[in-house]
Structure 1
């Protein structure tokens, strides 16, 4: 019988918290492998946006405005 994500997850949930955390760290590390082509795309995008900003074609947004836009309202309903 092949191992499925569902069966593997059920087994992982039986582990103590520290071992589950170690497993999560190991799995996430496999997803964070460098990809030169993706890095190049992001570098080109960043350079393009910086050049547009310097030409006055786009405006900067303050960090506080960005945080406020994505902050979750944690007040009780």
Structure 2
């Protein structure tokens, strides 16, 4: 770990619990930035799955059956 990161960690650890929580939330938010390419892929996938279900190319199982298996 670089000195700059170590200094940041030391500074963060000196914060109050509420301040550390706020810092963690901000850091996590920065990692959760939207990715339009991935969103488009998942959108197409979900539309394909809905179409397959509507066209009876795939079926479904109840959650009870699925969870019972595992």
Instruction: Name the TM-score class by shorter chain.
Output: 0.5 to 0.7
- Quote the Cα distance in structure 2 between the aligned partners of 1:6 and 1:68: 47
CA RMSD of aligned residues (A): 3.2
Number of matched pairs: 70
TM-score, reference length from structure 1: 0.62
Give the structure with the higher percent helix. 2
- If asked which structure has higher relative contact order (CA below 8 Å, sep 6+), I would say 2
Shifted more, 5-14 versus 20-29: the winner is 5-14
Listed as ranges, the gaps of 5+ residues in structure 1 are 71-77
Listed as ranges, the gaps of 5+ residues in structure 2 are none
- Pairwise CA distance, 1:42: 0.6
**Larger Rg computed on CA atoms:** 2
Q: Where do residues 13-24 of structure 1 align in structure 2 (5 Å cutoff)? A: 13-24=13-24
TM-score, reference length from structure 2: 0.67
**CA 60–32 in structure 1, closer or farther in 2 if over 3 Å, else same:** same
